[in-house]
Amino acid sequence: MPFILSLIAIAGAAYFWFNRAQNAKDAAVDLLDAANDVRLAARRFGFKRRTNVHPVDDIEDPNVAIATIATAFIELDDLPTRNQRDQLAVQLQYQLNQDPKTAEELMVLGRWLMLQCERPDAAISRVTRRLYKFNGVQSVEPLMTVLKNLAGEKLSDTQSDSLAEISRALRLN
């Protein structure tokens, strides 16, 4: 009887460790898929990373900059809800005349660029300055429309401060 119980215990331990290894493998695959999504989105928009240059300084497409600012804007107070992300995708499709797949890729690349700045407010100020450098005030209307529609009627204090920062960076006042 003790022999049978020890075999059951060994089989249970082996099953437990096998499942843990499978979960680790699945997590690694998910992580690689996320990195691959960013890589593919960057390639699609012609984003090229240079050494010793911040990734934001390599942005050449105003749509990428607008998506980055909008992504950072909805993450200022807390992580965005699924509803907010869906609303952002719809706004990017409508305001930037993009198809759903392109809007999703813009969001992925924008989130990665925001994370490279470490904080959403730092990303907003840095990307807005970059947007002004290569596109001037031409992007003001689509950017402000996207942000206004994302914020709705109530703005938090940090979102209000960010809108003021965007106005200063785009030299609107």
In which residue are the tokens 């050449």 written?
60
147-169 mean pLDDT = 82
**Separation between Cα atoms, residue 52 and residue 4, nearest integer Å:** 63
Where does the chain have alpha helices with state H? 2-44, 62-74, 82-95, 100-116, 120-135, 140-151, 157-169
- The pLDDT of residue 41 is 65
Per-residue pLDDT at 7: 78
Query: What is the number of other CB atoms lying within 10 angstroms of the CB of residue 133?
Result: 12
What pLDDT is recorded for position 44?
Answer: 62
Q: What are phi and psi of 154, to 5 degrees?
A: -110, 125
Q: How far apart are CA 95 and CA 88, in angstroms?
A: 10
> Tens of pLDDT along 9-65?
787 877 888 788 787 777 766 666 666 666 666 666 666 666 677 888 888 888 999
Local structure of 47: helix, strand or coil: coil
> Residue 66 has what pLDDT?
92
Smallest CA-to-CA distance from 68 within 2, 166, 171, 172 is with: 166
Give percent of the chain above pLDDT 90: 14
pLDDT, tens only, 83-93: 888 999 999 99
